[in-house]
Amino acid sequence: MAMDRVMVAGCCGAGKSTLSIALADRLGLPLIHLDRLNWLDGWKVRPKQEFDKLHEAVISSDRWLIDGNYGRTLPKRLERCDTVIYLDFPTIICLSGIVGRVVKNHGKTRPDMGGNCPERFDWEFIKCVISFRRTQGEKQLKLLASTRGKNIIILKNRRQVRKFLEGIEHV
């Protein structure tokens, strides 16, 4: 099955952006980080109507790789994509990914982040990561299980991600 419209989802800290960058490069796909669409300077959220307009423009194109969850718009991406890569990692791995990301990028805005949003330690965000699997993760996996006609790839650890990428040739 072709991979022309790919969405990458899963818990924060699992490595969605890292995987997306490598996969977009291999497949020659334009890469869209939903965080870049959502966040304005100073951690201000873009108004929903603006976000939705940007999101629609992206998913209506023929080729893309979209990195991010954003559950409110996930069903639209799922409807339009041909491939879903879902990172279903243990919470402890995601937490370690978050801590590593904060240490590496503290005070700097990551390239996959929108606006001027310097990396910071945030307890509310940590709580979201801790509860992700039993809240958003469960819903997302149920949605994927009921989806037909899509190439759905669920990866459970970093080794599986590496093996998956090794099997993808550059275009």
Q: With b meaning 16 or more CB within 10 Å and e meaning fewer, what string describes 12-31? A: bbbbbbbbbbbbbebbebeb
pLDDT in tens, 4-17: 999 999 999 999 99
Domains of the chain: 5-162 (3.40.50.300)
pLDDT in tens, 141-169: 999 999 999 999 999 999 999 999 999 98
Q: What is the DSSP letter of 46?
A: P
Distance between CA atoms of 132 and 170, rounded to whole angstroms?
33
Nearest C-alpha neighbor of 97 from the set 168, 19, 6: 19
Contact of 22 with 46, CB cutoff 8 Å: no
pTM of the model: 0.94
